[in-house]
Structure 1
Amino acid sequence: MEVVDGFHADPDRVRHVVTGAEWTPLSGAVGAGALRTRQCFPTTEATAGLTALLGREPEFDAGADAFGFYTFVSAGSAAHTEADTARANWAAVLYLTPPHLCSGGISFLRDAETEAPEITMHVPIRFNRLVLFRPNRVPHRASAGFGTDPLNGRLTQVFLFN
């Protein structure tokens, strides 16, 4: 796992892509306030940053809608275990929530199938922080959402790839 603070040179530009995006319910999420963009918005900068971390270019199916989509989870949605782990060997989650609103993060779990899984590591949300990990090897859970829209709630950009 890698945690990179200051991933984008201009994260506000990346963040404001969502203002004109079309949103759809996020599959596998708990609560009505979990949404994802219908399309993906990968950038050359993000791909280059992931390439530098991996030592190779990320492999992804451009038609699979999994590399560079945004997610928004509102205050009405509970914490949930990520369900999309079978789709990719790698996941990168980029936090785009403004610093004064950051709350929660991502927890990595042991015994995720039990009623009380053990949290082995927690990475807090921080504006422009990228968390790169292997979702099919380590169970993980996002914390509860917050806010009422993508500009004041838990906003991430997600990259699923091999």
Structure 2
Amino acid sequence: MPTSLIIVDDFLDNAPMLREAALRLTYPPQEGMFPGRNSFERINVDGLTQQVSRLVGEPLDAMPPPQAHGKSRITLAADKGKAKVHVDAAHWSGILYLSRPQDCRGGTEFFRHLETNTERAPYSDAEAVAMGFDSGKTMTNDILERDGLDDSKWEMTHRVPMRFNRLVLLRPWLWHTAGENFGDTLENGRLVYLMFFASAQR
């Protein structure tokens, strides 16, 4: 049975420096379906891939562009999006919370889809076919396109509360959201450092 979620508090020794570096980045106007803005620049954290590989117990590779690995993301209370519940195209996803302790609210949220009684996208086409879908991709797309924005179609199973310098490593096929948006400036908004990894096992 694969590990689905790993939480590490006080992850980086230099987290305040990473936050300050993230505050100096350029955040272009919102792109894509989700509320918030990714930084134009990326920050390389020395030894990050090796450290996360040890935590998850398997060798990983940082995913190259266009994936957002190494970017920071700011989301403010007024930001709107066209998508909510989602999955990520990765083998492991990571979110490092960089908001100040006095600003932190909400956290990464995980859900069960009520109609299918699932907490994740299917591992295989066979699993999706057994539930009446043509393929795993079809099942995932159908659920998210139809129900992704409809809160009545989901039950939240758990939330990982936001805490400065807390790392959340998650299997990206879990139905999840970024949680609550907050703040009205870069300094007091929801600031995170993004990580996306592929398996290094060939």
* 1:73 maps to which of 72, 75, 81: 75
Alpha carbons 1:82, 1:141 under 8 Å: kept: yes
Alpha carbons 1:18, 1:150 under 8 Å: kept: no
Alpha carbons 1:90, 1:134 under 8 Å: kept: yes
Aligned to 2:170: 133
Taking the aligned partners of 1:44 and 1:82, their CA distance within structure 2 comes to 31
Taking the aligned partners of 2:31 and 2:107, their CA distance within structure 1 comes to 18
Alpha carbons 2:99, 2:163 under 8 Å: kept: yes
Task: Pick which of 125-134 and 50-59 moved more.
Answer: 50-59
C-alpha distance 57-67 of structure 1, shift in aligned 2 (>3 A):
farther
Aligned to 2:188: 152
C-alpha distance 105-2 of structure 1, shift in aligned 2 (>3 A):
same
* 2:178 maps to which of 130, 142, 148: 142
Aligned to 1:19: 23
Tell me the alpha carbon deviations over residues 14-41 of structure 1, each in whole angstroms, 9 at most, x when there is no partner: 10112321112242214xxx11101221
C-alpha distance 82-43 of structure 1, shift in aligned 2 (>3 A):
farther
C-alpha distance 82-66 of structure 1, shift in aligned 2 (>3 A):
farther
TM-score, normalised to structure 1's length?
A: 0.86
Aligned partner of 1:158: which letter?
L
Alpha carbons 1:72, 1:149 under 8 Å: kept: no
State whether structure 2 residue 155 is matched by structure 1 residue 118: yes
- Greater RCO (Cα-Cα under 8 Å, separation 6 or more): 2
The Cα of 1:48 is off from its aligned counterpart by 3.4
Aligned partner of 1:122: which letter?
R
Aligned partner of 1:48: which letter?
Q
Secondary structure of 1:59's counterpart equals strand
What residue ranges of structure 1 are gaps of 5+ in the alignment?
A: none
Aligned to 2:41: 39
C-alpha distance 98-84 of structure 1, shift in aligned 2 (>3 A):
same
Taking the aligned partners of 1:130 and 1:73, their CA distance within structure 2 comes to 18
Taking the aligned partners of 1:84 and 1:39, their CA distance within structure 2 comes to 24
Secondary structure of 2:167's counterpart equals strand
The Cα of 1:135 is off from its aligned counterpart by 1.2
State whether structure 2 residue 12 is matched by structure 1 residue 8: yes
Aligned partner of 1:101: which letter?
D
The Cα of 1:151 is off from its aligned counterpart by 1.8
The number of residues matched between the two structures is 157
The Cα of 1:75 is off from its aligned counterpart by 1.2
Q: Which structure has the larger Rg over C-alpha atoms?
A: 2
Task: Pick which of 117-126 and 62-71 moved more.
Answer: 62-71
The Cα of 1:44 is off from its aligned counterpart by 1.1
Aligned to 2:98: 96
Alpha carbons 1:90, 1:161 under 8 Å: kept: yes
The Cα of 1:107 is off from its aligned counterpart by 0.8
